[in-house]
Amino acid sequence: MKKQVTLLREFTKGLWEINPTFKQILGMCPTLAVTVSAINGIAMALATTFVLVFSSLFISLVRKWIPNQVRIASYIVIIATFVTIVDLVMKAQFVELSKALGPFIPLIVVNCIILGRAEAFASKNNALRSVLDALGNGAGFLISLFVLGSIRELIGSRSILGYQVLPNGFEPWIIMILPAGAFLTLGLMMGFANMFIERKKNLERESLIAQYKRAGREEITEEVLKEAGV
């Protein structure tokens, strides 16, 4: 039996620890393509979160009836249904956003975050945990898309969420709203994110070693440290 974590952890782990963009590196296609502005990033992340939450909920509810051989096919049909609903609703109610996001709404079907969470989590856990996990991952996706979109919009068109922030004297870097800008920004963001995670890990490791030394424990081997989880 695997260790049960608290319900709160199911949600918060998606924000940072297994953040879809920085740690799982899933859903790169929409991440790179739609983040020319912060609002596009938010809309994309919200649409994905909606699909993620509902498909996780349904998949976890029906997980026991679905034969193993056809599980992926079943998941995809469930996911595609919710994506089509989102697409139709956006076309009917949010014309401008739907135009800006273009083909990336229908493409949520093949966003690996959703199938990834369905396969890795929702198919093994109950409905409540699955929804919390989906919400956490969606929120993590939202944070990274918003930050990425804001940086690109700020440098590429001088504004954030449509409000001009930088003065007219600043010449916008066109590269930031081209695909190349997406790769550069995402690469740097991932680099910084991993740098902080590494640093935090090293600090924890050092403090543990110091603790062991104070306790008079002589042999600090790799195995001992591994057991302590650092």
Partner 1 sequence: MKQVAHIIATLTIIGIVAGGSLSLVNNWAAPKIALNQKAETERAIYLVHLDGKRYEEIKNSGFEVYKVFNESDSSVGYSLVYSGNGFQGKIKLMIGLTEDLNKITSIEILEQSETPGLGTKILEPPYKDQYKGLSPNPVIKLIKGVEPSNPNEVKAITGATISSRSVVAIVNEGTAKLKSLENKGASK
Interface residues with partner 1 (CB under 8 A) are 62, 65-67, 69-70, 73-74, 77-78, 80-81, 84-85, 88-89, 91-93, 95, 172, 174, 177-178
Is the CB of 84 or the CB of 159 nearer to partner 1?
Answer: 84
Query: Closest approach of Cβ 95 to partner 1, in Å?
Result: 5
Extract the tokens encoding 227: 């057991």
Scored b (16 or more CB within 10 A) or e, 165-183 reads eeeeeeeeeeebbeeebbe
Of 96, 120, 101, 94, the C-alpha closest to 48 is 101
Query: Closest approach of Cβ 19 to partner 1, in Å?
Result: 29
**Cα 196 to Cα 216: distance, rounded to the nearest angstrom:** 31
Query: Closest approach of Cβ 117 to partner 1, in Å?
Result: 19
Query: Closest approach of Cβ 81 to partner 1, in Å?
Result: 4
Query: Closest approach of Cβ 37 to partner 1, in Å?
Result: 12
Is the CB of 44 or the CB of 83 nearer to partner 1?
Answer: 83
**Cα 193 to Cα 180: distance, rounded to the nearest angstrom:** 20
Extract the tokens encoding 204: 């924890």
Is the CB of 132 or the CB of 154 nearer to partner 1?
Answer: 154
Is the CB of 26 or the CB of 47 nearer to partner 1?
Answer: 47
Phi, psi of 176 (to 5 degrees): -65, -25
Query: Closest approach of Cβ 193 to partner 1, in Å?
Result: 27
Give Cα 30 distance to the centre of its chain. 11
Q: Which residues contact 216 (CB under 8 A, 6 or more apart)?
A: none
Q: 154 near 166, Cβ under 8 Å? A: yes
Q: 149 near 38, Cβ under 8 Å? A: yes
Is the CB of 143 or the CB of 151 nearer to partner 1?
Answer: 151
Is the CB of 18 or the CB of 86 nearer to partner 1?
Answer: 86
Is the CB of 26 or the CB of 97 nearer to partner 1?
Answer: 97
**Cα 43 to Cα 162: distance, rounded to the nearest angstrom:** 14
Query: Closest approach of Cβ 86 to partner 1, in Å?
Result: 10
